[in-house]
Amino acid sequence: MTTTTPSSRIDALDAVRGIAILGILLMNIFAFALPQAAYLNPYYTNTTPESEAYLWGVFNVLFQGKVLAIFSILFGATLVLLQPRSLRWNQCRLFVLALFGMIHGVGFWDGDILLAYALTGLLVTYLLNQYDDGFLLKIALSLYLIGLVILLVLGSGVDPSGFWQTSDKQLAFEYTIHTSGGMDGVYYRASEMLKMVEMLVIQYGWQLSALMIIGALLMKNGWLRGQFTAQHYRKIACIFILPSLLIQIVSLYTQSQFNWSYFSTSIIGYIINELVIPFQSLGYIALVYGFWE
């Protein structure tokens, strides 16, 4: 472990944050162009071309979930950087972020993530001020696994016939609601935001908070400050990225053997993806740190 010169900014961290933001835009391209079902189902219609499905597979293995995980890890790291300020100041900052998220989510784009991050950040800020690092790590691991168990239990009882493949009627509705604007669009986005908050509590907020805590702990131990050797980061990148890619490729092949059914892809495949996401995301971060000069 090496010592770095103190600086008001951590250049490698800023670079990773920029890459994560660009990655979020990259993933949102699918949402801009395709129906909601296309996020999880490569064959969201009976006429989906093979080339589009293969592209979905590439994005699924390399980017889906990973860029948001990186952003979550860095969000938690930022909470630690701002911890010297008062708890009240940090809570006010997150409340303002939540306000911007609601304005953006209802007024402009139903795929907003600011509100989710602000609400989760409030919880994580409280936890960071209450518990030591060892207990926080246990909390993070528990939260992450609990979220996946909830997904397995709730998702297994869902009837996918109404949404797993998009009907012509659903395609027409999504096209109209995203292009017509006006109060109909506002009501739709408000409804989608309420669903997002519900899902945040029920399922993915558990993983989100866990990743933020991991980011906070890695900032505390100096890993995200770049205080380890370049060789260390490169080794971590290799150990974390390559097995993650292999596991997901095997998972996708298995899903294809089950004809991309709802349970094999949206539940089992998604859970496998979620299990490797923390490692692959940290591997991506380590890759940047390992070659940063």
* Segment 176-217, tens digit of pLDDT: 887 877 888 888 889 989 989 998 998 889 999 999 999 999
Q: What is the pLDDT of residue 236?
A: 98
* Segment 155-171, tens digit of pLDDT: 888 888 778 888 888 88
Residue 128 Cα to chain centre, angstroms: 21
Tell me the angle at which helices 66-81 and 270-290 cross, rounded to the nearest 10 degrees. Answer: 60
End-to-end C-alpha distance for the chain, whole angstroms: 17
> What residue spans define the domains of the chain?
11-31+62-290
Q: What's the mean pLDDT in 61-71? A: 94
Residue 55 in this model has a pLDDT that exceeds 80: yes
Q: What's the mean pLDDT in 89-111? A: 90
Tokens of 237: 């990148």
Tokens of 166: 């998009």
pTM, two decimals, is 0.92
Quick one: pLDDT band at residue 5, thresholds 50, 70, 90?
A: very low
Quick one: pLDDT band at residue 35, thresholds 50, 70, 90?
A: confident
Residues ≥6 apart with Cβ < 8 Å to 2: 227, 228, 229
Residues ≥6 apart with Cβ < 8 Å to 212: 72, 73, 75, 76, 79, 120, 121, 124
Residue 292 Cα to chain centre, angstroms: 24
Q: What is the pLDDT of residue 33?
A: 79
Residue with tokens 């189902």: 41
Q: What is the pLDDT of residue 8?
A: 63
The beta-carbon contacts of 49-53 under 8 Å, at least 24 apart in sequence, are none
Tokens of 268: 């089992």
Phi and psi based region of residue 226 (left: phi greater than 0; alpha: psi -120 to 50; beta: remaining): left
* Among 74, 91, 80, 102, CA closest to 16: 74
